[in-house]
């Protein structure tokens, strides 16, 4: 099997890949640019391409049998350029990491470890047991709202349930009743937004979700509730979020997905044109929630499994476009 990892961002998955295959394979890691003739020839001969971008600049390999995104998002793949003999698959495997990130952020709000530590180092026993005024909060007293109930939402629900949280969900397709949640709402039901102490947005970005969380949704939230975004930045309206935080109309935010990202011309931008970085009621992280060694390992193993299945003529996992010829 001739396998090409195309683009520098696929390198983490190429590393150690050969060892996961039972049979022999020719594995090449090619730069995104393909400026060398040899690289273009290798690309053109690929039977498997692992890439986040496909079909825009380079002709598709004629003998392609599998195009595999090493991520969940496939908006960089031009599916109309995929030869009919090739299937297209994507990867999950980040949902456990994102659930850990979300629970870390929620627990950090309940258990004031950093403040308690700073105080005790100077002999201040704030938070000590005995006086009810010093008691901290428990997750088990709280309701979690999940805006989006796919792989990620379900993994977060499982974590929340382990701590006895009440869970409500909002999803386009009403989910089947499950022990993972107590109540389901439609995505456009305003009652969802007032039903939770913390709301996690894990929706993908699409025509129906851009700006879906706007002034109305934020305005319906409880005054002390927080919102977390681990989906895509623009699902939450940028200006509406900034205003809700600046005017302290909600309890706070934990934002991992943003409105501006580093680029070659601007490697270290602030993540929004609005001064979120001047606010004290937001935790700002750089699109890191799913990025763990565990995620990389799980994705690398899934891609290898699919290559093995392809070689054996078996059904592939995570197919988003089957082969058509």
Among 104, 17, 48, 47, CA closest to 299: 17
Q: Which stretch in 78-86, 112-120, 167-175, 200-208 sits in contact with a copy of itself by CB under 8 A?
A: 112-120
Closest alpha carbon to 13 in 307, 288, 313, 321: 307
Residue 102 tokens read as: 């979300």
188 makes contact with a copy of itself (CB under 8 A)? no
Question: Which of 134, 140, 169 lies closest to 154, judged by CA?
Answer: 169
From the CB of 210, what's the least distance to a copy of itself, in Å? 21
Q: Which stretch binds a copy of itself (CB under 8 A): 139-147, 202-210, 220-228, 235-243?
A: 139-147
Residue 286, interface with a copy of itself (CB under 8 A)? yes
Q: Does 17 bind a copy of itself (CB under 8 A)?
A: no
Q: Can residue 269 be called a binding residue for a copy of itself (CB under 8 A)? A: yes
Within 10 angstroms of residue 273's Cβ, the number of other Cβ atoms is: 12
CA distance 111 to 264: 39
Which residues contact residue 297 at a Cβ distance below 8 angstroms, ignoring those fewer than 6 apart? none
How many Å apart are CA 85 and CA 62, to the nearest integer?
Answer: 9
- The residue (of 116 and 239) whose beta carbon lies closer to a copy of itself is 116
Q: Which is nearer to a copy of itself, 3 or 253 (CB)?
A: 253
Q: What number of chain residues touch a copy of itself (CB under 8 A)? A: 68
Is 248 a residue that touches a copy of itself (CB under 8 A)? no
Q: In the complex with a copy of itself, which residue's Cβ is closer, 79 or 118?
A: 118
Cβ 273 to a copy of itself shortest distance, Å? 13
Q: Following DSSP, what letter does each residue of 154-216 receive, concatenated? A: HHHHHHHHHTT-EEEEEESSPPPP-TT-SEEEETT-HHHHTS-SEEEE-PPPSTTTTT-B-HH
Give the 3-state secondary structure of residue 77: strand
Task: Choose, by CB under 8 A, the member of 164, 190, 208, 322 that binds a copy of itself.
Answer: 164
Q: Given the rule CB under 8 A, which residues bind a copy of itself?
A: 9, 11-12, 15, 96-97, 99-101, 103-105, 107-108, 110-111, 113-114, 116-117, 119-132, 134-141, 158-159, 161-164, 254, 262, 268-271, 277, 283-288, 290-296
């Amino acid at each position: 099997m001739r396998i090409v990892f195309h683009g520098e961002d696929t390198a983490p998955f190429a590393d150690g890949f050969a060892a996961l295959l039972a049979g022999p394979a020719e594995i090449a890691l090619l730069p995104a640019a393909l400026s060398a003739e040899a690289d273009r020839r290798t690309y053109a001969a690929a039977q498997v391409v692992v890439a986040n971008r496909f079909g825009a600049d380079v002709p598709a390999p004629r003998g392609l049998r599998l195009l595999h995104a090493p991520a969940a998002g496939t908006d960089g793949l031009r599916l109309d350029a995929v030869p009919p003999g090739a299937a297209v698959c994507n990867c999950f495997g980040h949902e456990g990491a994102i659930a850990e990130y979300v629970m870390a952020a929620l627990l950090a709000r309940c258990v004031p470890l950093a403040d308690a530590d700073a105080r005790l180092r100077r002999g201040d026993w704030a938070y000590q047991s005995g006086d009810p005024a010093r008691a901290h909060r428990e997750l088990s007293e709280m309701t979690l709202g999940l805006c989006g109930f796919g792989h990620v939402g379900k993994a977060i629900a499982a974590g929340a349930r382990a701590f006895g949280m009440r869970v409500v969900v909002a999803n386009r397709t009403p989910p089947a009743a499950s022990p993972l949640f107590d109540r389901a709402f439609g995505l456009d039901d305003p009652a969802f937004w007032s039903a939770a102490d913390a709301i996690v947005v894990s929706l993908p970005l699409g025509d129906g979700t851009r700006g879906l969380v706007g002034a109305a949704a934020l305005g319906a939230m409880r005054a002390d509730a927080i919102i977390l975004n681990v989906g895509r930045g623009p699902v939450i309206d940028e200006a509406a979020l900034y205003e809700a935080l600046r005017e302290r109309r909600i309890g706070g935010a934990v934002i991992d997905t943003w409105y501006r990202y580093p680029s070659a011309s601007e490697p270290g931008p602030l993540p929004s044109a609005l001064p979120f970085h001047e606010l004290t009621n937001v935790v700002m992280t750089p699109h890191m929630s799913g990025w763990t060694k565990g995620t990389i390992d799980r994705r690398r193993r899934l891609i290898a499994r699919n290559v093995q299945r392809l070689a054996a003529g078996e059904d592939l996992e995570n197919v988003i476009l089957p082969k058509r010829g």
